[in-house]
Chains A and B, each alone.
Chain A
């Protein structure tokens, strides 16, 4: 087990709704990244948070937003849900930011948009 926990594990939402996913990072880790994994694909980087600030973003629209809290836990918010947002959302915790840093994943939140 990595010590990275995500909630909820499964979620069903209707198109147009908003959703908030949560992540608790591993003890001692100050960096949290979010990834979207569509069925049969590798994870795609959404954004990273370091010291409560966004520290890099992938090719996702502004309706994907996030927060990091002083205890380093994080939220991913998605507004105006679309059917294509259905995916496994993964949170990864790292001890620091930068390119030579290992990342440990939680079990993910399976989001289904209907």
Chain B
């Protein structure tokens, strides 16, 4: 089946800096992607999504970039805060389900 992977399993950033979390996907037919944030002991929280007909989408302090040529997604978090510390997953959609990678753990250093 499809696989979604992440380049870095851990990322540490200074508070106030920008964070970039990367994700590679393998199914070139995937047409919808979601970024989730998962804090310890909680379920994944929807952050932002992007459809394959877009290259970029912005939310509040977050931006997702999609490069279909190299099958790569990134999540940019501006002015990273301690509350952003969590595991971040990208997910691509199948016919009726999501395929998740292992995740990247973001640690914000005060």
Q: Interface residues, chain A, CB within 8 Å of chain B?
A: 2, 4, 6, 33, 35, 40-45, 48, 50, 55-56, 58, 90, 92, 97-108
Provide the residues of chain B in CB contact with A97, threshold 8 Å. 96
Known interface pairs A45-B97, A48-B96, A100-B93; 8 further A-B residue pairs with C-beta atoms within 8 A, sorted by A's residue number: A2-B43, A42-B103, A43-B100, A45-B99, A48-B97, A100-B32, A101-B32, A105-B43
- The answer on a CB contact under 8 Å between B102 and A33 is no
- The answer on a CB contact under 8 Å between A43 and B96 is no
At the interface, yes or no: B95 with Cβ under 8 Å from chain A?
yes
Q: Interface residues, chain B, CB within 8 Å of chain A?
A: 4, 31-32, 34, 36, 41-46, 49, 51, 89, 91, 93-103
Bound CA–CA A90/B91 (angstroms): 15
Known pairs A48-B96, A56-B95, A90-B44; A103 contacts B102 (CB<8 A): no
Which of chain B's residues has its CB closest to A43's CB? B100
In the complex, the 6 A-B pairs of residues with the closest C-beta atoms, listed nearest first: A42-B100, A105-B43, A45-B97, A56-B96, A100-B32, A99-B93
- The answer on a CB contact under 8 Å between A43 and B44 is yes
Classify the secondary structure of A's interface with B: loop
Known pairs A97-B96, A98-B96, A108-B43; A42 contacts B31 (CB<8 A): no
Give me 20 A-to-B residue pairs in the complex whose CB atoms sit less than 8 angstroms apart, sorted by A's number.
A2-B45, A4-B43, A33-B96, A41-B102, A42-B89, A43-B89, A43-B100, A45-B94, A45-B97, A56-B94, A56-B97, A90-B43, A92-B98, A99-B96, A100-B31, A100-B51, A101-B93, A103-B46, A105-B44, A107-B42
The smallest C-beta distance from B36 to any residue of chain A, in angstroms, reads 8
